[in-house]
Amino acid sequence: MDNGFVLAELARALRLVVLRGVVGDHSPQAVRVEIAPGVQTDWLPWLRWAGFAATHRVPSIGEAVLLVAPEGNLQQGVVVGGLSTGLNPVVGDSVDVTVARWADGTEARYDARSKTLSVHSEGDLHLSAVGKITLEAQDITLRTGEEGRYLLDHHGMATLLRHVAGQQFETETWVSGSVVTGLPDHGYHPPEVEG
């Protein structure tokens, strides 16, 4: 076999082992990568966690990626993304901060230096568990907006407390279970319980 031909084929294969491109189309299972203007690959898997701990994030259309093609075989390619570009800039600016941000502005951020985990949702935030949820901290603050409401629903088993203080101030509270505090009551007596 001609050594020149072998070397040329080897060089060609090496050039095709790792390619840069952008996601041209996507589905929940695979993506197509545009490797040249108007030239897209077939549907290919992208790199993700897929063991006992799994993740799912479909690469965005227009997201810059690397296409790794073993021996230059695009049919065996795997897509690795995403690379930061002007269209998709870096979302963090600190070596101590890990950030996950979505297109609508929803964000999860962990600052290892201050040991602070922050979650912001542009919509609703829903936590659920088959077992129990425990919130434990030195201080806990629940703050609603100006027209917001704080609701506690204990599967229909709650008690309504109504406190009226003059003509301008009235509060209603649904109480479930009991509250234990070591603070003195300073002469305060709880309102009457209505059934």
Q: Read off the pTM.
A: 0.61
Q: Establish how many alpha carbons lie within 13 A of residue 46's alpha carbon, considering only the half-sphere containing its beta carbon.
A: 25
By CB neighbour count within 10 A (0-12 exposed, 13-18 middle, 19+ buried), where does 140 fall? exposed
Q: Provide the 3-class DSSP secondary structure of residue 110.
A: strand
Strands 78-83 and 159-165: unpaired
Extract the tokens encoding 118: 């922050």
Annotated domain spans of the chain? 3-80, 140-186
Token match 């060609």: residue?
Answer: 12
User: What is the structure's pLDDT at 46?
Assistant: 93
Q: Provide the 3-class DSSP secondary structure of residue 105.
A: coil
Extract the tokens encoding 56: 């799912």
Render each residue's pLDDT in the chain as its tens digit; 195 residues: 678 888 887 777 677 688 899 999 999 999 999 999 999 999 999 998 888 888 888 999 999 999 999 878 888 999 998 888 777 778 888 899 999 988 899 999 999 999 999 999 999 999 999 999 898 989 888 888 888 877 766 665 666 666 666 666 667 766 655 555 555 555 555 555 454
Its CATH architecture, for the domain 3-80, is Beta Barrel (2.40)
The whole-angstrom separation of Cα 48 and Cα 42 is 19
